[in-house]
Structure 1
Amino acid sequence: MDLKNYELAVALRHALHRHPELSNHETWTKAYLINFLDKHTSLEIVDRGAWFYAKYSAAPGAHKIAFRADFDALPIDETISLPYGSEIPGVSHKCGHDGHSATLAAFALEVDQRGAENTIYFIFQHAEETGDGAKECAVLVTEEGIEEVYGYHNQPGYPVGEVIVNDGSFQCASKGMSLFFEGVPAHASDPDVGRNPALAIARLICALPSLYRAQEYTGLVLGTVVHVEIGAPAFGTAASTGVLRVTLRGEHEAEMNCFEARLEALASELASEYGLKYHAEFCDYFPECYNHPESAAKVRAVCAKLNISVHAFPHSKRGSEDFGYYTKATKGALFNIGAGDITPHHTVTYDFPDTIILTAVSVFEGLAGMEKD
Structure 2
Amino acid sequence: MDSRDLKLAKEVWRKLHHTPELSGQETKTKEILKDYLTNYTTLSVVETPDYLYTVYEEKDCEQPQLTICLRADMDAIPDGEGGVFHGCGHDGHSAALFLTALCLERLRQKCKKIGKRVILLWQQAEETGEGARLACPVLLKESVSEIYGCHNIPGYPLGEVLLCKQVFACASKGLILDLHGKQSHAAYPEQGINPGYLIAEIVNKLPIWCEDHKKGLTMASIIEMKVGSENFGISAGNGRLCLTLRAHYQEDLEMLTEAILAYARQQAETSGITMEVSETDAFPDTVNDTALTEKLEQLCIDHALPYTYLPVPMRWSEDFGWYQKKCRGVFFGIGAGEKTPGLHTESYCYPEALLEKAGMIWETIIMH
Tell me the TM-score range normalised by the shorter chain: over 0.9
Aligned AA (2:227):
I
5+ residue gaps, structure 1, are 79-88
* 2:62 is the counterpart of 1:64: no
CA contact 1:167–1:293 (8 Å) conserved in 2: yes
In the TM superposition, what whole-angstrom CA distance separates every residue of 1:286-318 from its partner, at most 9, and x where no partner exists? 110111111111211111122112111111100
The answer (yes or no) to whether the contact 2:42–2:105 under 8 Å persists in 1 is: yes
Distance 1:120 1:39 in 2: 19
Q: What residue in structure 2 maps to residue 275 of structure 1?
A: 272
Show the counterpart of 1:7. 7
Matches within 5 A, 1:23-172: 23-58=23-58, 59=61, 61-76=64-79, 90-115=83-108, 116-172=114-170
Q: Is the 8 A contact 1:299 1:363 kept in 2?
A: no
Give, in angstroms, the shift of residue 77 of structure 1.
7.2
Q: Does structure 2 retain, via aligned residues, the 8 Å contact 1:302–1:363? A: no
Task: Supply the AA of the counterpart residue of 2:275.
Answer: Y
Q: CA deviation at 1:273?
A: 2.8
1:298–1:367 Cα contact (<8 Å) kept: no
**Structure 1 Cα separation of the partners of residues 26 and 163 of structure 2:** 29
CA contact (8 A) 1:43 1:56 kept: yes
Aligned partner letter, 1:11: E
Cα pair 1:65 1:147 within 8 Å, conserved: yes
Q: Which residue number in structure 1 is paired with residue 215 of structure 2?
A: 218
1:318 alignment counterpart: 315
What does residue 85 of structure 1 align with?
none
Structure 1 range deviating more: 331-340 or 307-316? 307-316
* Residue 194 of structure 1: how far off its partner (Å): 1.3
1:57-96 CA distance string (max 9 Å, x none): 2347210000001111111179xxxxxxxxxx81111111
What CA distance in whole angstroms lies between the structure 1 residues aligned with 2:80 and 2:299?
38
- Given that 2:50 and 2:135 are in contact with CA atoms closer than 8 Å, whether structure 1 keeps it comes out as no
Secondary structure of 1:30 counterpart = helix
- Kindly indicate whether the alpha-carbon contact (under 8 Å) linking 1:197 and 1:230 is maintained by their aligned counterparts in 2: yes
Which residue, out of 152, 161, 172, partners 1:174? 172
Q: Distance in 2 between matches of 1:43 and 1:263?
A: 50
Tell me by how many angstroms 1:229 deviates.
0.8
Number of residue pairs aligned between Structure 1 and Structure 2: 359
- 1:6-34 per-residue CA deviation (whole Å, 9 max, x = no partner) reads 11111110111111111111100101100
Residue identity opposite 1:147 in structure 2: S
Q: Which amino acid aligns with 1:171?
A: A
Contact 2:172 2:246 in 1 (8 A): yes
Equivalent runs, 1:347-358 vs 2, <5 Å: 347-358=345-356
Judge conservation of contact 2:50–2:134 (CA < 8 Å) in 1: no
Identity among equivalent positions (%) equals 35
Which residue is equivalent to 1:84? none
Indicate the residue corresponding to 1:360 in structure 2: 358
SS in 2 for 1:332: strand
Task: State the distance in 2 between where 1:157 and 1:64 align.
Answer: 33
TM-score by length of 1: 0.93
Where in structure 2 are there 5+ consecutive unaligned residues? 109-113
Residue by residue, what CA displacement relative to the aligned partner does 1:94-139 show, whole Å, maximum 9, x if unpaired?
1111110010000011012114321000101111111111110112
In 2, Cα distance between the equivalents of 1:129 and 1:56?
28
